[in-house]
Structure 1
Amino acid sequence: MIYACLAALMAGFVDAIVGGGGLIQAPAMFILFPSFPVPRIIGTNRFASFMGTAVAAWQYSRKVDVPWRTVLFGGVGAGAMSFLGARFSSMISSDLLKPIILVLMVAIAIYTYLKKDLGHQEQFRVAAYLIPAYGLLIGITCGFYNGLVGPGTGSLLVFGFVSLIGYNFLTGSAISKFINVVADVFSLIFFLWHGYVTFEIAIPMMLCNMVGSFLGSRTAILRGNGFVRMFFLCVIGALLLRFGWDVFWGLQR
């Protein structure tokens, strides 16, 4: 339990800055609780992390000017599709998706690295009246992925709002936190309904995740967009290693 709580603390810190906490928390749970079926791992992990994301969202809202219309449209799309993705998670093997996700992550890493000014300042790429529609599209896409697979959803949301719409990294992170909370809650409904949450593990992890999220969001706000961009590249690199290993291991079997 101590190791699970430490993983939750670290995951909350990373996730609050730019997403990707699932890279730490979910694999740790698979290692620490090998007898758990996959839906129980995902459900317990989701319950342990959603309040931490809420803490980070609250922290950002106090320091960042949050575009609430974008949050609303993105949250509606993410919530509906996250529940649908959770239903599909028991019917579709994630091994089929991992090569596609790997290619996507490579493209994101290269694009972000080459675009040195990406996310440093707000430079809107679409007309103001289209921003909510773009937010809805990003929410739908990332919400479905969140329910179906999970790890890296926050990072994909941040990238979408920064690269497609033109928000800076801090604002993109703030938006993604609120939308991530909505997506987590809707997918969590499915896991709770089917009894896939182990509360004696999930609750202590949730408390540690909240502490990590508070510290991570404070760090991001204090250090600014340049720091968040570099942290984003590090998390995307870790995602590449994770999915690259999964794809390679799948080919060996």
Structure 2
Amino acid sequence: MITPTVGNPMFDFTDRTVLVTGASGSIGAATVRLLARHGADVIAAGPTPESLTAITAETGARPLAFDLAAEDSVRDALTGVAVQGVVNCAGYGGVVGPLTEVDFGVFDEVLAVNTRGALLVTKYAARSMIAGGRGGAIVNVSSQAALVALDGHASYAASKAGLDGITRVAAYELGQHGIRVNSVNPTVVMTPMSASYWGRDEIQGPFLSQMPLGRYATEDEIAAPIVFLLSDAAAMITGVCLPIDGGYTSR
């Protein structure tokens, strides 16, 4: 069990419930941990109860399993669940390969999770936020692939660019209810999902040579800006797509 920290009241999540999808993944788990440290009542969401056992045991987060690609499952899971924050962190990388060899079965799977799934969660969570009348904040975990071209990433880039578009529309529509919506656009974090491609010497060397900070990000370096955007410290920030990329997209 993680004991909440005492600190800046702008980062106090006491009496706030935050839903984190992809909670069993590296970035999702880091976000759950940090939110728990700041006193949030965290709902850790994933595809199966078993996938959530470790993170819920560690942090005291409440598990919630549902199929992100099925609207009935998302609606049934989220209807009547009062939340003041959402992190759409669930993601699927698909297959890295040439545009001329795109597998549209994989393309559809990537969009089903990264774009459609996030929109489904936003749809039903926003209804809860509006009904609750307390406002809230939503953070979508996008990617630098939505901002600059990455070789072989057509499907993934499309899914994350779509997610950034959803972020802007949601910010525009939900602002009247006191709900802020932002994206974070991380560079590569060396998770198991990314290691098979980004860990290869011939990929890693040229990529990092173009990044001002010259290294991949850690999970905690992504979780911290996510929690900032959920917090009162970001009360006037909405509709933003924030690169967390060591300066890669500045080139």
Larger helix percent: 1
TM-score higher than 0.5: no
- Between the two structures, name the one with larger relative contact order (CA 8 Å, sep ≥ 6): 1
TM-score by length of 2: 0.30
